[in-house]
């Protein structure tokens, strides 16, 4: 018997209100997994976009910024 089959068998023995709680929990786990996947893709995208920027020449110095925003 697979894990999914064991879960289904146990869930079927629960009252309907408890089955609804199980469904709510499964929905929560799906949302959590999707959020984790989105976070991973965002980190990957940012890392890819920033790749090589550390080798680029700075356009402005700290003195340039102080001059503009210090007034």
User: Considering the entire predicted model, what is its pTM?
Assistant: 0.54
The pLDDT confidence band at residue 8, using thresholds 50, 70 and 90, is very high
SS3 content of the chain, % helix, strand, coil (to 5): 80, 0, 20
11 in Cβ contact with 19 (< 8 Å): yes
Q: What is the pLDDT of residues 33-59, one digit of tens each?
A: 999 888 888 888 878 887 877 777 888
60 φψ region: left (φ > 0), alpha (ψ -120 to 50), beta (else):
beta
Asked if pLDDT for residue 6 goes beyond 90, the answer is yes
Given this model, what pLDDT does residue 68 score? Answer: 61
The size of the chain, in residues, is 71
Asked if pLDDT for residue 66 goes beyond 90, the answer is no
Given this model, what pLDDT does residue 69 score? Answer: 62
């Amino acid at each position: 018997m697979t894990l999914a089959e064991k879960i289904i068998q146990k869930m079927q023995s629960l009252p309907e209100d408890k089955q609804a709680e199980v469904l709510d929990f499964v929905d929560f786990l799906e949302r959590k997994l999707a959020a984790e996947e989105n976070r991973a893709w965002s980190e990957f995208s940012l890392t890819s976009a920033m790749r090589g920027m550390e080798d680029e020449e700075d356009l402005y110095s700290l003195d340039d910024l102080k001059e503009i925003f210090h007034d």
